[in-house]
Amino acid sequence: MLEEAQKRTSALQSRMKENGVECAVITDESSIAYLAGFWGYLGIEFGRPTMLVIKAQDEPIVITPLMESEMVAEMTWVEDVRVWENFGNRTWGAALAGALGARPSEIWVERNTIPAIVRNHLDENFTDVPIKDISVILGAMRIVKSPFEITGMKEAGSCQKNLS
């Protein structure tokens, strides 16, 4: 599973290069699972964003709450796992700024699924940086199933058939 997620991330980075996309901030839990291979438990519905920052030229970065960081580090192939806390200097906004590094020329997000708290943060702190939609690029990848995914779907269908 993790090898598959790593291949997907590499494929996304190739597509990002082809489309002139420098940096994407992925916040949708299913997209994070698809690319990084893990599903967080205290997600945005609890006001606790987990993010996957993918740059076309660099290794990806996971940003996750401190209380989930050990679990995430064990479940993902991504080596750079950065943590945030609710109080002090280690907020998720600070972690995101650190992951983005030098002010990006634009930030790509999944426009229809980005949590309001994250979008508001980007709008308030990156006022001069255009926010663009990576959904079409990522969606084009996700619609084509790999042999690994097809096998999983067949197994799930077989289980359902046996329950009937």
pLDDT tens for residues 135-150?
999 999 887 776 666 6
Distance, CA of 151 to CA of 53 (rounded, Å): 29
What's the token pair of residue 51? Answer: 């993010």
Dihedral pair phi/psi, residue 77, rounded to 5°: -90, -15
Averaged pLDDT, 151-157: 69
pLDDT score, position 157: 76
Burial 79-113 (b: 16+ CB within 10 A, else e): eebbbbeeeeeeebbebbeebbeeebeebbbbeee
% of the chain with per-residue pLDDT over 90:
70
pLDDT score, position 35: 97
User: What is the set of domains in the chain, with CATH numbers?
Assistant: 2-163 (3.40.350.10)
pLDDT score, position 152: 65
Least confident of 25-34, 92-101, 148-157: 148-157
- 164 compared with 119, residue with greater pLDDT: 119
Beta bridge partners of 107: 131
pLDDT tens for each residue of 118-133: 999 999 999 999 999 9
Confidence class of residue 33 from pLDDT cuts 50, 70 and 90?
very high
pLDDT score, position 156: 76
Whether the pLDDT of residue 9 is over 70: the answer is yes
% of the chain with per-residue pLDDT over 70:
87
Whether the pLDDT of residue 164 is over 70: the answer is no
Beta bridge partners of 51: 63
Q: Identify the DSSP state of 37.
A: S
Residue 40, SS3? Answer: coil
